[in-house]
Structure 1
Amino acid sequence: MTKEKNAGLSVLKADRVYAVLRQRIRDLDLPPGALLKKDELATELGVSRAPISEAIARLTEEGLVDVFPQHGSFVAQIRASDVREGLFIRTGLEVEAWRQAAAIRTPELIVALDENLEGQRQALARGDLTHFYELDEQLHELIFGFIGWSRAMKFLDAVRAQLDRVRRLALPSQGRPEATLAEHARLVEAVRIGDPEFAGASMRAHLNAVAQAVEGQLEHYSANAG
């Protein structure tokens, strides 16, 4: 095998390891404060230590991992400042994205949004919050893809990981999944009728509700972490 092919495989392995670890951190499968044992992770994922180290370095840059020399690498604690920054950025991007989508909607977009919304209803009815959350993310990705904001979507994904972690804590809160579904239904309706102002206002109201739930979880998390 040539050096070029070896290098390409190394990049693919590092990317795969990064994606797996990042998702586990976002899903709280690797909770705040968890020690990342490189040897164990390498064995589990079928790679050498090098891709593990590369992935940890990338996650450290994102603020999802803290490295302490002589002690090891740990999943970062949830930081209120990072979460609030993520909410601020998300509001700025998503309010305008939904406004634009409502202004230039197509029948194909509405069909896709309706299918996603029905999937959310079914997931919630059977108590599958994991799938509900996946569809929640996909709903917003549909909008960014439709208006062609792929770079904005990548940027948003990079800054919202901390928010996603605390949202995992907030979603099971009593009544919150049902409220989220209702808020999503209003967003889809705003696009359906082609009302940018209604879409923007609905998105802002949705994120305000998310922020309230998140603040409550941050207080609870800080009290228990401290």
Structure 2
Amino acid sequence: MESKSPNPLLTDKGGSKMPQKIKRGSASAQLHGSLRDRIIQLELEPGQNLSRGEIAAEYGVSQTPVRDALLKLEEEGLIDTFPQSKTEVSKINIEHALETQFLRLSLELEITRRLAKAHDPALIASAQSILAQQKAAMTANDLAAFARLDRDFHLSLFEAGGVSDLYGVVHARSGHIDRLRKLNLPDPGKLASILDCHTRLLDAIRAGDTAETEKVVREHLSGTLAKINDIRERHQDFF
């Protein structure tokens, strides 16, 4: 049986009621998106128990969309279900994160190489605009906005390369590595390092320098993984 004890799903960290009612549209899709975001943001921490009944009550839905949303989260490796026992947020899986990183690196190396060879500044105009917004978010120390803009930046490169659907493939697998990034983002110098790589990457694409583009992509996408041991040491309960 699932636990009926108080669950942080129903309150924010200050103890206040969280209005999370689902709006019109696909309830299961919206619920999946909301729960997934809360898992990635570590609001729902690895190992935390999830009660279907409490989720349904919080979001104002029946248990059918809850079941569907949890099934999708399980497929993505973000929750673990123990039949007749419990459902909980999965621990961060390093091997899964490494596999996703391999996929993303392979795709972004080819995408940025093509963009550099195209030598068309208009293709990266959106990325340039997002980079300016990221700089403002760093100045304001708005980590949530910075992280969202970081995703937008990379999505804009997939779009510029004409393969935006492939970003969805990467995104669906990114839960474990995104949680690692969430833990790494507040570290001193991390935001500045990301901005530096984004700036150099766009400069290399504009210059048509494929060698520099590859160098920057490899450096940029290896940053968090290089800190795995340190992150795991500081957050042992999450692994």
TM superposition score normalised by structure 2: 0.84
- In structure 2, the partner of 1:157 is 171
- In structure 2, the partner of 1:91 is 105
- In structure 2, the partner of 1:16 is 30
The one-letter code matched in structure 1 to 2:27 is K
Spell out the pairing of 1:35-184 with structure 2 (5 A cutoff).
Answer: 35-184=49-198
- d(CA) in 1 for partners of 2:35, 2:73: 9
- d(CA) in 2 for partners of 1:100, 1:215: 34
User: Does structure 2 conserve the Cα–Cα contact (< 8 Å) formed by 1:10 and 1:51?
Assistant: no
CA displacement 1:43-96 (0-9 Å, x = unmatched): 221210110011101111111000012322100011111111122222111111
User: Does structure 2 conserve the Cα–Cα contact (< 8 Å) formed by 1:167 and 1:214?
Assistant: no
The one-letter code matched in structure 2 to 1:211 is L
Alignment size in residue pairs: 217
- d(CA) in 2 for partners of 1:113, 1:150: 14
Which of the numbers 217, 231, 239 marks the counterpart of 1:203? 217
SS in 2 for 1:52: helix
CA displacement 1:125-161 (0-9 Å, x = unmatched): 1100111111111111001011111332111111111
CA displacement 1:105-138 (0-9 Å, x = unmatched): 4333332222111111110011001111111111
**1:179 Cα deviation from its structure 2 partner:** 0.9
1:53–1:24 CA distance, 2 compared to 1 (3 A): same
- d(CA) in 2 for partners of 1:89, 1:219: 26
1:149–1:225 CA distance, 2 compared to 1 (3 A): closer
SS in 1 for 2:220: helix
- In structure 1, the partner of 2:204 is 190
2:34 equivalent to 1:34: no
User: Does structure 1 conserve the Cα–Cα contact (< 8 Å) formed by 2:131 and 2:199?
Assistant: yes
Structure with the higher fraction of residues in helix conformation: 1
Deviation >6 Å, runs of 4+:
none
**1:12 Cα deviation from its structure 2 partner:** 1.3
The one-letter code matched in structure 2 to 1:62 is E
Report sequence identity in percent: 33
Q: Aligned Cα RMSD in Å?
A: 2.0
- d(CA) in 2 for partners of 1:150, 1:113: 14
- In structure 1, the partner of 2:6 is none
The one-letter code matched in structure 2 to 1:71 is S
Q: Which runs of 5+ in 1 are unaligned?
A: 1-8
User: Does structure 1 conserve the Cα–Cα contact (< 8 Å) formed by 2:39 and 2:78?
Assistant: yes
User: Does structure 1 conserve the Cα–Cα contact (< 8 Å) formed by 2:100 and 2:173?
Assistant: yes
SS in 1 for 2:74: helix
